[in-house]
Chain A
Amino acid sequence: MSASPDADEARRAHLNRILRRVAEGDEQAFSDFYKLTSSRVFAIVVRMTHDRSEAEDVLQNVYTNAWRRADTFHPERGSAMTWLVTLARNATIDRMRQRRESPLDEEQTAEIEDEAPTPEDVAQFSEERRRLEQCLEALDPKQGSAVREAFFSGATYAELAQRLRVPLGTMKSWIRRSLMQLKLCLER
């Protein structure tokens, strides 16, 4: 079953309302917010850290921060889910940057995952996500997978270059060119 745009919109509006109530200090709303979003957020953090126990620490931080900073959510600037995903990714990236001065070990280098979704996945996507997918697929395949890997891993340019075994300059120009093309495609 494909998600209908109406259902997407209703879910988004619902979550926005809940987060507004969280900002007013409503503990029940916060509990609902956690129930609705925590498995998605946990998946993001686990994917980035590759470490369940660390991911639990990050998740705990993300939600205590979400409660404290709920008043920084403005629906006109983006959805509640975008706000939360940003909070979670930022917390994870900051933590990884703090400690990841050492180069990636072999094990990590070996496990580059193929992130491109299957047609079945695409059928489940929201309209926004489908649109982004069309634009990602229009990129050169290697560059497209570098962009996906960057998002899901939270790695720096240098780490990505090492992981995908290309020179740093090449990685930078791949990503920068892809960003430009994505912008043009998404604004079309």
Chain B
Amino acid sequence: MNTPALSDDDLRCAEYALGVLDSDSRRALEREVLHNAALRATLDTWLARFAPLAEDLPGIEPPARVWTRVQRDLGFLPVPTKTPARGGWWNDVGLWRWFGIGASAAALVLLAVNLVTLRETQRTATVVAQDGYMVATIARSDGVAHWTATVDVRRARMVVVPAVHPQVAAGHSTELWLIPPGAKPVALGIVPTDAPASMPLSPRILAQMSTRAILAVSVEPQGGSPTGQPTGPVIATGMMHIA
């Protein structure tokens, strides 16, 4: 049966709404609709046509921790309250605070170590920890540690502890990024400047935590980068090491 074809714009909007376009085509259309009201309307129409399909899926209640993390990212929760040390030393916030304070003093020493190990790791093969811990001292370019990050590989969690209280302009957030070698930064979330944060790591992120990966913190609008990539200045970086 012969069916007339959709116009190019109509087709692109339909394909976008259905979800079959590649990233480049998606970005191109998103840019165009910003200053093309007719195209915007066409896209809205297609989005509204397909959105009701979502009714087909029975709802799945997300775990409560997701809402807690959303609130924390948005700064609705003050400082994470002292958690009982149920899971042993890993969950002991006091220990992490103490470690954070020590970390700044150790930074100058670590900087020297960093420079050496940086060269070492570039020569040697990339190591992804199979088990155990990985650490990174996330320091300013002058070597002063701002955060220390410790990854518990087996439990797929990371604890990020501010070493000093980095000053960030009001209305801004500090966002943590994983930069795997030769790849774009991957957002890991907002890290507070005044309190330790603990976050789960998805298997995909964990797989990219190698000794060639870099952790970086950038200054972003409140709540984090609007684009999914760093938009503000990077204030501190650190290499991952096997602990």
Contact = CB atoms under 8 A, between A and B. Distances in A.
A82 B47 contact: yes
A27 B223 CA distance: 14
A64 B107 CA distance: 33
B6 A182 contact: no
Given A86-B51, A155-B20, A77 B44 contact: yes
Given A34-B70, A78-B48, A129-B55, A97 B226 contact: no
Given A94-B26, A98-B23, A126-B55, A51 B202 contact: yes
A79 interface: yes
B86 interface: no
A11 B222 CA distance: 31
Interface string A85-124: 1100110011001110000000000000001010001001
Interface in B38-66: 40-41, 44, 47-63, 65-66
Contact of A183 (B14, B19, B21): B14
Interface residues of B, number: 57
A150 B16 CA distance: 11
A56 B66 contact: yes
Contacts of A79: 48, 51
A180 B5 contact: yes
B233 interface: no
Contact of B20 (A57, A125, A132, A150): A150
A34 B158 CA distance: 26
Contacts, number: 164
A5 to B, nearest CB: 13
Contacts of A81: 51, 54
Q: Which of A27, A57, A179, A186 has the most CB of B within 10 A?
A: A179
A7 to B, nearest CB: 13
A129 B21 contact: no
A42 B63 CA distance: 10
A130 to B, nearest CB: 9
Could you say which interface size class chain A belongs to?
Answer: 35 or more
B52 to A, nearest CB: 4
A38 B66 contact: yes
A132 B21 contact: no
A175 B66 contact: no
Contacts of B228: 94
Interface in A155-188: 155-157, 160, 175-177, 179-184, 186
A109 B189 CA distance: 32
B73 A64 contact: yes
B67 interface: yes
A85 B6 contact: no
Given A51-B202, A150-B18, A132 B6 contact: no
Contacts of B74: 64, 67
Contact of B224 (A27, A42, A64): A64
A156 B184 contact: no
B60 A43 contact: yes
B51 A82 contact: yes
A82 B48 contact: yes
Contacts of A40: 54, 57, 59
Contact of A129 (B6, B20, B53, B62): B53
17 contacts: A39-B60, A43-B57, A53-B203, A54-B202, A54-B203, A56-B65, A56-B200, A57-B202, A86-B47, A94-B26, A97-B23, A117-B56, A125-B52, A129-B52, A147-B18, A156-B20, A183-B10
Interface of A: 27, 34, 38-40, 42-44, 46-47, 51, 53-57, 59-61, 63-65, 67-69, 77-79, 81-82, 85-86, 89-90, 93-94, 97-99, 115, 117, 121, 124-126, 128-129, 132, 147-148, 150-157, 160, 175-177, 179-184, 186
Given A39-B62, A64-B73, A132-B52, 16 more contacts: A40-B57, A44-B57, A56-B66, A63-B67, A64-B224, A67-B74, A68-B224, A77-B44, A97-B23, A99-B204, A126-B55, A129-B56, A175-B15, A175-B20, A176-B6, A179-B11
